[in-house]
Amino acid sequence: MSSARAARAALGPAAVVSVAQAVEWLPWRAAEARAWLEAAGVIIRRPGLPAPVVRWGDVLVALAEEREEEARPTPVALPRKKLKG
């Protein structure tokens, strides 16, 4: 198991990591990962924090929700049939 994979597996959902660390652990290029974190709304910016951070559990939830959306079939309008009667 790679060290990055082991680190991800060892984290609990309440773990707070830097944006740079989260970007490194996501399976995309850095720019794509950072854009995804922004779009998913998981980056935490608070006064008093030296830099933005993410809660790893929020990242996992956002990934799971994205997979659920991808797995849902796209609704298709079926042609109407005339009823006999």
Domain annotation covers residue 28: yes
Nearest-10 Cα torsion for 35, 42, 29, 2: 180
Q: Which pLDDT band, with edges at 50, 70 and 90, does 71 fall under?
A: low
Domain annotation covers residue 85: no
What kind and span of H or E run contains 21? Answer: helix 19-25
Domain annotation covers residue 38: yes
SS (H, E, C) 37-59: HHHHCCEECCCCCCCCEEEHHHH
What is the span of the domain harbouring residue 35? 3-69
Between the two ends of the chain, the Cα-to-Cα distance in Å is 67
Sheet containing strand 43-44, edge to edge, reads 16-18, 53-55, 43-44
Decide: pTM greater than 0.75.
no
Domain annotation covers residue 64: yes
Q: Which pLDDT band, with edges at 50, 70 and 90, does 1 fall under?
A: low
CA distance 75 to 2: 40
Domain annotation covers residue 83: no
pLDDT digit string, tens, across residues 34-43: 999 999 999 9
Domain annotation covers residue 80: no
Residue 45 CB partners (closer than 8 Å, separation 6+): 52
pLDDT digit string, tens, across residues 4-30: 666 666 778 889 999 999 999 998 999
